[in-house]
């Protein structure tokens, strides 16, 4: 399920375009003209070529084309990106290749092109099966449009589909959430992500629901679910999806057996990843760096000639993570998965036993019923998952 091979990397390709901005979104995404899409892909292809030249010794286990909304672009642009990846990187024969898609943008003619150029996994952003709730989020699609996209994807040969859902959204009730879960599981997607809404600063939701505004008062048009409802939603999700045959393999991610998202598991298990495109982040050999976030500057970089220099400018400062910071990340991210972290992986990565660094904390959390051990695997208990923020914060070293 993981890829711990040192010569293996993952690719993340960022497409920053959307039809319009959702009310809760703080991702690097915006509306743009079709001519901007083309100029962006021209530069992205140059970046892929330039980066690929430095990655000849590496093989790519997964590719994730995310955003933004990659499917807002003409499908031929996605084909050009995939061709550039294929020509400049060595893909594993069974590489997992995902594209993020928004139902409102997924016309039938696009899907066969994606399938044809090697994309074998589709991640559909639905969020809710309730059209009123979708409107409250500022989404551009209805549930009916999602259904059409889903069925078109199946007809185009996609056998690995993930659906993103969001709980804790304005106007949501326990009943409406249950209805969303029912409608989605009836379709039998291979994978479901169920995250809670986070109110991010700088978004319209921050002004409406952020700490300054407080929770929208009783009687307001679309209040957020109260804490009790959120708790019940959390437990319902876990139990309902388990009963429908989905394995909870991470705090917010559920999959049919063998359909866990390999790309995300790589993020959670210290696999190196290379981000390509505007603002994309990378983590290679214990170093972190992020691409230029300003579109005008990104497009003006010379990635065609003198590649080394252009790439240095693109990536900006490189942060070398200390051994302690890497240990913390290993524990934070690894413990989010239900299988937990392996003591053997810890020794392999850091040359020291997990017990030497965290022994006392682990014993205390185990005595309190928050962690459990199974052979070399250390993981959260059900209760530990419920209060994961607290448990994970215990693994800070500084
Ligand atoms: S579709 Fe996704 S990336 Fe685009 S605005 Fe909405 S939440 Fe943000």
Q: Please tell me the distance between residue 10's alpha carbon and the centre of ligand 1 in angstroms.
A: 23
Q: CA 88, CA 329: separation in Å to the nearest integer?
A: 30
* 123 Cβ below 6 A of ligand 1: no
- 277 touches ligand 1 (CB under 6 Å): no
Q: Which residue has the tokens 């003619």?
A: 109
Backbone angles phi, psi at 393, to 5 degrees: -65, -20
Q: Order of strands across the sheet with 371-374?
A: 341-342, 377-380, 371-374
Tokens of 85: 């990846």
Position 306 confidence tier, pLDDT thresholds 50, 70, 90: low
Whether 22 lines ligand 1, by a CB cut-off of 6 Å, is yes
Nearest to 41, CA basis, from 61, 19, 68, 4? 68
What fold is seen in the domain 8-268?
A: TIM Barrel (3.20.20)
Asked whether 29 lines ligand 1 (CB < 6 A), one says yes
- Ligand 1 atom 2 nearest Cα: 68
Predicted confidence (pLDDT) per residue in 64-94, tens digit: 999 999 999 999 999 999 999 999 999 999 9
For ligand 1, atom 5, the nearest C-alpha belongs to: 21
Whose tokens are 């051990």? That residue is 373
Question: With a 6 A CB cut-off, is 27 part of the ligand 1 pocket?
Answer: yes
In short, whether 69's Cβ falls inside 6 Å of ligand 1 is yes
Per residue in 96-151, pLDDT (tens digit) is: 999 999 998 887 789 999 999 999 999 999 999 999 999 999 999 999 999 999 99
Q: Is 256 in the pocket of ligand 1 (CB under 6 A)?
A: no
Which of 68, 203, 278 should be mutated for ligand 1, with most atoms under 8 A from CB?
68
Ligand 1 proximity of 357 Cβ (cutoff 6 Å): no
From ligand 1's centre to the CA of 142, what distance in Å?
15
Burial 184-193 (b: 16+ CB within 10 A, else e): bbeeebbbbb
Q: Which of 125, 165, 205 to mutate to test the pocket of ligand 1 (most atoms within 8 A of CB)?
A: 125
Atom 3 (ligand 1): residue with closest C-alpha?
A: 68
Q: Is 138 left (phi over 0), alpha (psi -120 to 50) or beta?
A: left
Q: Residue 25: CB within 6 Å of ligand 1?
A: yes
Reading the block at residue 222, the tokens are: 């679309």
pLDDT in tens, 15-68: 999 999 999 999 999 999 999 999 999 999 999 999 999 999 999 999 999 999
On whether the 324-393 domain is CATH 1.10.10, my answer is: yes
pLDDT tens per residue, range 179-216? 999 999 999 999 999 999 999 999 999 999 988 775 55
Answer for the pair 98, 64: CB distance below 8 angstroms, yes or no.
yes
- In the sheet that 90-101 helps form, which strands lie side by side, from edge to edge? 247-250, 253-255, 191-196, 161-167, 121-127, 90-101, 59-67, 8-15, 272-276, 281-284, 287-290, 319-320
State residue 2's pLDDT score.
44
Domain ranges (residues) in the chain: 8-268, 324-393
């Amino acid at each position: 399920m993981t890829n711990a091979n040192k010569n293996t990397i993952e690719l993340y390709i960022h497409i920053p375009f959307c039809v319009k901005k959702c009310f809760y979104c703080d991702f690097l995404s915006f509306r743009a003209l079709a001519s901007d899409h083309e100029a962006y892909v021209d530069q992205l292809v140059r970046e892929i070529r330039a980066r690929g030249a430095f990655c000849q010794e590496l093989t790519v286990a997964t590719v994730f084309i995310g955003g933004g909304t990659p499917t807002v672009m003409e499908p031929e642009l996605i084909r050009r990106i995939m061709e550039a990846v294929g020509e400049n990187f060595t893909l594993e024969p069974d590489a997992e290749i995902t594209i993020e898609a928004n139902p409102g943008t997924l016309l039938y003619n696009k899907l066969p092109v994606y399938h044809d150029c090697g994309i074998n996994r589709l991640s559909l952003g639905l969020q809710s099966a309730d059209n009123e709730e979708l409107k409250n989020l500022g989404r551009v699609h209805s549930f009916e449009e999602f259904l059409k996209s889903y069925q078109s994807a199946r007809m185009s040969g996609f056998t690995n589909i993930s659906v993103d859902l969001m709980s804790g959204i304005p106007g949501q009730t326990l009943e409406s959430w249950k209805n969303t879960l029912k409608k989605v599981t009836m379709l039998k997607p291979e994978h479901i992500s169920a995250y809670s809404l986070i109110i991010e600063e700088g978004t319209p939701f921050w002004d409406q629901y952020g700490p300054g505004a407080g929770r929208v008062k009783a009687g307001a048009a679309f209040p957020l679910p109260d804490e009790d409802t959120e708790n019940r939603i959390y437990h319902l999700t876990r139990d309902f999806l388990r009963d429908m045959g989905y394995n909870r393999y991470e705090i917010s991610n559920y999959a049919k057996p063998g359909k866990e998202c390999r790309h995300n598991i790589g993020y959670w298990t210290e696999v190196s990843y290379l981000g390509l495109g505007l603002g994309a982040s990378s983590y290679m050999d214990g170093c972190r760096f992020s691409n230029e976030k300003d579109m005008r500057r990104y497009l003006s970089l010379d990635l065609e000639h003198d590649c080394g220099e252009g790439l240095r400018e693109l990536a900006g400062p490189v942060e070398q993570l200390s051994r302690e910071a890497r240990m913390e990340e290993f524990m934070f991210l690894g413990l989010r998965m239900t299988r937990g972290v392996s003591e053997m992986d810890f020794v392999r990565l850091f040359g020291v036993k997990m017990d030497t660094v965290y022994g006392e904390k682990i014993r205390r959390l185990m005595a309190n019923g928050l962690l459990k051990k199974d052979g070399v695997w250390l993981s959260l208990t059900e209760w530990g998952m419920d209060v994961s923020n607290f448990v994970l914060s215990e693994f800070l070293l500084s």
